[in-house]
Amino acid sequence: MSLIDSLHESLSLKKSQNLYRHRRIVSSPQGAEIVVDGQSVLSFCSNDYLGLASHPDVIAALQEGASAYGVGSGASHLVTGHSCAHHELENALAKWTGRERALLFSSGYMANIGVISALCQRHDVVLQDRLNHASLLDGARLAGAQLKRYAHNDCDALTQRLVKCHGSALVVSDGVFSMDGDVAPLSEMAALVKMHDAVLMVDDAHGFGVLGQQGRGVVDHFKLNSNDVPILVGTLGKSFGTFGAFVAGSEALIETLIQQARSYIYTTAIPPAVAYATLTSLELLKNDDWRRDHLNMLITHFRQRAIEAGLPLSDSQTAIQPLIVGDSERAVVLSEALLEQGILVSAIRPPTVPKGTARLRVTLCAAHTKAHVEHLLDLLAKLLSDC
The residues annotated with a catalytic role in the active site are: 178, 206, 238
Positive or negative, the CA dihedral 126, 130, 135, 141 is positive
Measured in whole angstroms, the distance separating CA 123 from the mean position of its chain's CA atoms is 29
Query: How far apart (Å, rounded) are the C-alpha atoms in residues 246 and 232?
Result: 8
Helix (H, G, I), strand (E, B) or coil at 362: strand
From residue 194, give the alpha-carbon distance in Å to each of 18, 187, 190, 362: 44, 11, 6, 36
Residue 64 burial (10 A CB sphere; 0-12, 13-18, 19+): middle
H or E element, residue 249: strand 245-249
Strand 33-36 relative to strand 320-326: parallel, antiparallel, unpaired?
Answer: unpaired
Residue 240: closest CA among 204, 202, 273, 284: 284
Cβ contact 100:249 at 8 Å: yes
